[in-house]
Structure 1
């Protein structure tokens, strides 16, 4: 099965300010492990960056990838303006060009861009592997970040109506 690694919104403006997202160091370490595994197996690595006209304006310091994230010039970079990494972007075309059948998803924010992109990938017919220890968010007024993450790890994997498999595995269990 052809796979692609999707790394969503791991950007300075989301990870550097205090407070940082839940377990930032662990999540970044896990994402960097996934990047290394993907490179070893010639799996396309797609970095997706959110932008807006406020704190994440295109090419600003906040828009850049988080400084501890291992990026390379030969990786694929996609800009987005909504929580859906497919909406008004070239992501679908890119995945189709590589004949991708499974998206391995990690990054930020569990309840917004991760959730929406996982659902859209499944709607387009891609199997999805949510890396359960490589996506994160901030605490919200209604829920702590660890509860939000766990909720999405459980809820997204319960979705069967798309007719594809959505699974959640830890970084060490991901096979490329």
Structure 2
């Protein structure tokens, strides 16, 4: 089984919002830890980046569209560009992973209830084994739930049914 690390939408725009992401610096630190371990173990890393279109915080080519500096991709690390919540919808990501012989994904990133959730569910539907890093994805408060509640809910909902939820320090590549 060939494993890859997938980092979803950890872009500068996420850190320019009026309210910061839930435990943002700690989550970025955990993602940086995963990234360093994956690189050291020669595990492929795929970044996913959202393009929100013209005049959006995630407009292609703008500074806020870039991958967050502390976890910036190295030359040659693929960046999957997307326009929808799922990293698989109209992107060619599935074909890229299959070409590279990947069948197990370690997923982390932003936003829990949108792109992380959608990507996990799509990957499951495509037959991938998925590890959701339970403490390395985050989001913002909603009018209904706090960001912490959203993350806990998604770990509970996705865990066991669609993904294996594992904290950063227990992730095995």
Task: Please classify the TM superposition score into its range, dividing by the shorter chain length.
Answer: over 0.9
| Paired position in structure 2 for 1:10 | 10
- Among 123, 130, 148, which residue is 1:128 paired with? 130
Q: Does the 8 Å contact 1:6/1:106 carry over to 2?
A: yes
Q: Matched residues in 2 for 1:132 and 1:151: separation?
A: 11
The RMSD of aligned alpha carbons is 1.1
- What are the ranges of 5 or more consecutive residues in structure 2 without an aligned counterpart? none
Q: Does the 8 Å contact 1:48/1:77 carry over to 2?
A: yes
- What are the ranges of 5 or more consecutive residues in structure 1 without an aligned counterpart? 161-165
Q: Does the 8 Å contact 1:32/1:70 carry over to 2?
A: no
- Among 61, 83, 86, which residue is 1:84 paired with? 86
TM-score, length basis structure 1: 0.94
Q: Does the 8 Å contact 2:35/2:71 carry over to 1?
A: no
CA drift of 1:140 comes to: 0.5
Q: Give yes or no for the alignment of 1:102 onto 2:99.
A: no
Runs of 4+ residues over 3 Å off in structure 1: none
TM-score, length basis structure 2: 0.95
How many residue pairs match? The answer is 171
